[in-house]
Amino acid sequence: MPRTEYRIYVVELSKRVFNENTKFRLANPQFNGALQCLYVGMTSKTPRERFAQHKTGHRNKKGHKISSNIVEKYGLYLRPSLYNHIDPLPNREAALKMEEQLALELRRKRYAVWYN
Domain that holds residue 95: 7-115
* pTM metric for this prediction: 0.93
* Domain contains 15: yes
Q: What is the pLDDT of residues 59-70, one digit of tens each?
A: 888 887 778 899
* Residue 1 in domain: no
The residues, any chain, with a CB within 8 Å of residue 103's CB and separated by 6 or more, are 40, 113, 114, 115
Q: Let me know the angle formed at the C-alpha of 75 by 89 and 83, rounded to the nearest 5 degrees.
A: 30
CA 42 from centroid of its chain's CA atoms = 7
C-alpha dihedral (67, 71, 74, 76), degrees to nearest 10: -120
Number of domains in the chain: 1
Q: What is the pLDDT of residues 88-111, one digit of tens each?
A: 999 999 999 999 999 999 999 999
Q: What is the mean pLDDT of the chain?
A: 94
